Amino acid sequence: MKRLLTPLLWLLLPLGALGHVGSPNVFFTGQAGPHTIRVVIRPPAVLPGVAQVDVRVATDGVTNVTLQAALWEAGLDAAPAPVEASAVAGETNFFSGALWLSRAGSFSVHVNVAGGGGSGTAIVPLNSSATKRPAMPPLVGVLLVALGVALSLGVVWLAGVAARESVLEPGTFTGPHERHRARAVAMGAALLLGAALFAGKTRWQRMDREFRNNSLSQPQPVAATVRSNGTLRLLQITPSAADAPGGPAWDTLATDHGKLMHLFLLREPDFDAFAHLHPVRRDARTFENVLPPLPGGRYQLYGEVTYENGLNRTLVATVSLPGSAASAVPQLMGRSNLLNEAFCASAYVPATNSAMPVALDADDSWHVGAASATLVARLMGGYTMQFLTAGEMVENREAALRFVLLAPDGQPAALQPYMGMFGHAVVRRTDGAVFTHLHPVGTISMAAQELFARQARGEAGTATNGLAPVTTPTNVVHDVSFPYAFPRSGDYRLWAQVRAQGRVLTGVFDVRVIPAR
Amino acid sequence: MAAWTAGLMFLAAAGIPLSLLWDFSWESTVGVDRFWAPAHTANYLAVALAGLVALRIAVHSTRTAATRAGTLRLGGLHAPLGAWVCLWGALAFPTAVVFDRWWQSAYGLGAGIWHPPQILKAVSFFAILTGAWLLAWKGQNEAPPGAAARAAVAVAGIGGLILAMITVVMLPSLYPNRQHSASFYKILCATCPLVLVALAAAGRRRWPATVAALVYTALVCVMVWLLPLFPAKPQTGPIYNALDHLMPPPFPLLLVVPALALDGLLRWWNWPAHRGRAWLQAGVAGLVFFVAFLLAQWLFAEFLLTPDADNRFFAGGGRHWPFFLKIDEASRSIFWETRADELNFSSSVAAVGLAMLSARVGLWLGHWMSRVRR
C-alpha cells in the first residue's frame, strides 16, 4: 500500500543510465570556494535510497558542511533544503551526510563548505540509477517458501473448514453433506490459489524483465565496424542492430575535455594494446575515428559520452582489427616492443572527392606493450613511470593512485597538461566487471559539472559543442594522482597517461586488490 | 467475545486504513520512506494488535469445553473462523514485509508499484478486516436481545472500515479530477456494492449499510481534518509542489447516498419470494447503486474542484498535491481523461453490470455471514 501515488511518478521516470562499468561510486577532488575538498559519494544501488556523502576538507576551521541534491530537469529551485553533514567522530576535517534520492536521473550534489576563512560550493555530478542485479539470498528464499507453504495450506484449510462447519450450531456435528461440500470448496480454493500464485509468478517475471531492461543501469551495446579509406582504416560506431531506428541517438551530447566521446580500445586477451581516441560525430547515430597503427586482434571498446542533461553513458562493443601485431606496426614496435606516441599530424584530406576527415585527433594516443609486473613501467625515450602506492590496495578503501614520471636522467619530469588535465587513467578489472576512466578531479564528468554550474548560474542554453572550455593549468607538477576506491577485490590493470615534452606516455600496471576484512 | 476484546479488535482494524492514509500523506509530503517511519510503525502496531487479539480469542476459546463449543479446531487450538482468518492475515503480513524488504533492496521502485509483496500486503490487510468482520457477524448472530444493537453496530462499523480499505487501495484512481471518468465508476461499482448489499440484506437493526458508509466517511474526514495540522516538508526532490504541512487525502466519497438507497431498497421493499429473487434483487440493487452514486458524486466532484471547496473542511479546490507530482496549473482543477475514459452509455452499462455482479456476491456473502455461528 506504500507509495500509492507513485504510479503517477513512475510515468516521469527516465531510464537508468550510468557512466563507467561496475564502479558506481563518485570521487571528486576540487575547490569549494577557498577550501580544497575531497568528496566520495556512494549512491544507492536501488531507488529510492540513501546516497552516503563523505567530505574531507583540507583547510582547518571549517564549521559547517551542507549537502543538497538537485535533479537536472527540475533545477536547484526544486531541490529539498540542504542537509547538514556531521563531523565524523575522531576525525579532523571529515564530514559525512546522507541524501535521500527518490528517483533515477542526473543529479548535482551541491557541497557547501563554510568557516575557516570563507565559504564556497562545489558541484559534484551524480548519476542516480539502479546498479545492482536482483538476487535473493538463499536464507530469505527458504524463509519465504516456508511461510508461503504455511499460508497456502492455511487458505485451503480455512476454505474447507468454513464450508464444513462455520454455519453449524455449536454442539452439532458435521454430516456427509458438509464434508463433501468442504472437500469441493477446499479443492476450488486450492485451484484458485494455484492460479493466483501462477499469476503472481508471471507478474514477477515480467516486472523483473522490465527492471533489467529499463531501470537497471548497464553499458549500452553499440556496433563497431572497420572500413578502409585508401590506406587508412576508419573505425565507425553506430547504435547496435538490436536498437530500433528511432532508438538511441547522440545528437544531445556535451563535450567533456573538448571531446564528444572518449573511446578506449583494449586488445583481448592480454590487453597489451591500448588506445585512447576521440571519435568525431558524423551524424546523430554515427561516430568515426581513424585507427592508429594498432596490432591486429579482437578489441574491447568502451566509449564514454555525456548528455546535455549531465547523464553519462558507457558504450561497449567489440571489434576485430585485421593483421598481426608484427605486420601492423613493424616500424614502431622496435626492439623495446613499446609503442607510445601521440600522433599529431595535421588533417590529410584527399583533394578529389572525400569530405571524410582522415586524421587522428591531436589528443589520440595508444600504447602497445605488456604491463609492468612491478611498480615501475619502462616507457619510450628512456622515461619510466612509478606507481606510488601506500601499502596494499583494499576493496572500497579510498586511495590516491599516484604516479610520477622520471626522465631518462632519473629526475622527475615536468608534466604537461593533456586535454586540460595533468593525467588520465583507466582502470579495468581483469574480468571486465569494472571499467572506469579517472582524472585528477576524480570520476566525475567535467562536462556534467560545467552544465550544472551553468544551470546554477541561470545561464540559458547548453550548446552541445560550445561547452566545457578546456582550461589549461599553468603550474608545474611532477606527479599526478587520481582519487579512487576499487569497488571489488580482484586483479586489475591500470593505464596511466601523462604528457611530457609533447609526447603522451602511458604506463601500464597490474594490481591486486584484496578483500576488505 | 468480551466487549473489550471486540473494542480492541475494532481499534486494530480501524488502525489499518487510518495508518495507510497517514502513510499516503507522509509519502506525498515528506517522501522519505523509511522502515520505521511513524505511519509504517502505526501500521505494524495495528496488525500486531489484531494478531494478538485473535490469538487471545483462540487461547480463551481453547480453555474449556463450553468455550470450545462454537469454534473450529486446528491442532490443539480452538478459535472462531474470524479469529483464524485474522491470524492468517497476521502471518501473511510479516511474510509480505520480509518479501517487501527484499524487493525494495533488489528493485526499489524500479520494477513498478503493484509488485507481488505489495499485493500480499494488501491481501493480509483485507484478511484481517474480513476476520474482524466475521467475528462481528458471529457476535451479531449469537447476540442476546439486550446486546443486539451493539453487535449490529459492530458489524456495520467494520463494514465501514472495509469500505475505507477499498478506497485507500484505489486512492490514486479516486482523486476528484477522475470522478467524471468511466474507470472511477467501474471501480466503485465493482467493489462497494459487495459490502453495502451484504449489510443491507443481512445486517440487523436499521440502516446497516448507511451506518457503514457513515463510519467510512467519519474515518476519512478525521484524516482530512487532522493531518494538515502537522508541520512537515519534503526531504527529497524534486519538489514540484511546496508543502509545509502533511497533505490531506481527498474528501471521502458520498457512499452514504447509495448506502441509504440500498438500505431502503433491500430492507424496506417487499420483495416477492420466488426462485430468481436473489438475481432480481442484485440487478435492481446494482442499478440503484450506480444511479444514486453517480448523481451524488458527479455533482459533488464538480463542487470539490471549485474554489468554494478550497478550505480545511473539504480540502478541495485542486490545491493539495504530492510534492513530487509535476502538474500544470490548468490541470489542477479540471476533470481528467474525460474523452479517453468517457462515461457514456456503453461504459455506464459496463459499470451497472459490475455493480449487479458485485451486489449478487454481496447478497450471497450477507446470507452466509448472517448464519455464521463459529
pLDDT tens digits for range A152-196: 999 999 999 999 989 888 878 888 888 999 999 999 999 999 999
State whether residue A289 is helix, strand or coil. Answer: strand
**In sequence order, which ranges of A81-175 are alpha helices (DSSP H)?**
138-165
Distance, in Å, from the CA atom of A372 to the CA atom of A273, rounded to the nearest integer, reads 13
Q: In this predicted structure, what is the pLDDT of residue A146? A: 98
DSSP A214: I
Round to the nearest angstrom and report the end-to-end CA distance of chain A: 40
- Is the Cβ of B108 closer than 8 Å to some Cβ of chain A? yes
B362 touches B196 (CB < 8 A)? yes
State whether residue A154 is helix, strand or coil. Answer: helix
Side-chain half-sphere CA neighbours of A138 within 13 A? 0
Residue B26 has φ and ψ, to the nearest 5°, of -60, -45
Q: Give the one of A10, A44, A74 whose C-beta lies nearest to B238's C-beta.
A: A74
Cβ partners under 8 Å of residue A181, min gap 6:
A163, A164
When pLDDT is averaged across residues B86-114 and rounded to a whole number, the result is 93
The mean pLDDT value of chain B amounts to 95
Instruction: Please judge whether A79 and B325 are an interchain contact, meaning their C-beta atoms are less than 8 angstroms apart.
Output: no
Nearest residue of B to residue A50 by CA position?
A: B32
The string of pLDDT tens digits covering residues B26-43 is: 999 999 989 999 999 999
Instruction: Examine the pLDDT at B120 and tell me if it is beyond 70.
Output: yes
- Is the Cβ of A200 closer than 8 Å to some Cβ of chain B? yes
Distance, in Å, from the CA atom of A16 to the CA atom of A45, rounded to the nearest integer, reads 12
Interface of A with B in 51-80 (CB under 8 A): 69-71, 73-74, 78-80
Q: Which cell is B354 given?
A: 459490475
B119 interaction partners in chain A (CB closer than 8 Å): 200
3-state helix, strand and coil shares in percent for chain B, rounded to the nearest 5: 70, 5, 30
What stretch of H or E contains A404? Answer: strand A399-406
Q: Give the one of A79, A135, A162 whose C-beta lies nearest to B237's C-beta.
A: A79
A48 interaction partners in chain B (CB closer than 8 Å): 33, 108-109, 236
- Is the Cβ of A196 closer than 8 Å to some Cβ of chain B? no
Distance, in Å, from the CA atom of A392 to the CA atom of A220, rounded to the nearest integer, reads 33
B372 interaction partners in chain A (CB closer than 8 Å): 166-167
- Is the Cβ of B242 closer than 8 Å to some Cβ of chain A? no
Q: Give the one of B85, B109, B371 whose C-beta lies nearest to A48's C-beta.
A: B109
Instruction: Please judge whether B373 and A132 are an interchain contact, meaning their C-beta atoms are less than 8 angstroms apart.
Output: no
Query: Cα separations (Å) of A76 from A280, A441, B11, B68, B245?
Result: 33, 23, 44, 66, 22
State whether residue A271 is helix, strand or coil. Answer: coil
Instruction: Please judge whether A1 and B105 are an interchain contact, meaning their C-beta atoms are less than 8 angstroms apart.
Output: no
Instruction: Examine the pLDDT at B340 and tell me if it is beyond 90.
Output: no
Peptide bond into B172 cis (omega under 30): no
Q: In this predicted structure, what is the pLDDT of residue A147? A: 98
Interface of A with B in 9-48 (CB under 8 A): 9-10, 12, 16, 44-48
Nearest of B139, B208, B132 to residue B165 by alpha carbon = B132
When pLDDT is averaged across residues B362-370 and rounded to a whole number, the result is 95
Q: Which cell is B55 given?
A: 490469538
Q: In this predicted structure, what is the pLDDT of residue A468? A: 47
Which residues in chain A show pLDDT less than 70?
Answer: 1-19, 243-248, 324-359, 390, 460-474
Chain A to chain B Cβ contacts (< 8 Å): 185
- Is the Cβ of A146 closer than 8 Å to some Cβ of chain B? no
B111 interaction partners in chain A (CB closer than 8 Å): 207-208, 210-211, 215
Neighbour tally for A63: CB within 10 Å: 10
Find cell 452439532 and name the residue. A172
Residue B275 has φ and ψ, to the nearest 5°, of -60, -40
B81 interaction partners in chain A (CB closer than 8 Å): 158, 161-162, 166
Q: In this predicted structure, what is the pLDDT of residue A54? A: 96
CA B37 to chain centre: 22
Nearest residue of B to residue A83 by CA position?
A: B235
A440 touches A29 (CB < 8 A)? yes
When pLDDT is averaged across residues B179-190 and rounded to a whole number, the result is 97
Distance, in Å, from the CA atom of B249 to the CA atom of B227, rounded to the nearest integer, reads 9
Distance, in Å, from the CA atom of A321 to the CA atom of A329, rounded to the nearest integer, reads 13
B16 interaction partners in chain A (CB closer than 8 Å): none
- Higher pLDDT, residue B264 or A460: B264
Distance, in Å, from the CA atom of B80 to the CA atom of B137, rounded to the nearest integer, reads 11
- Is the Cβ of A147 closer than 8 Å to some Cβ of chain B? yes
Shortest Cα–Cα distance, B371 to chain A (Å): 5
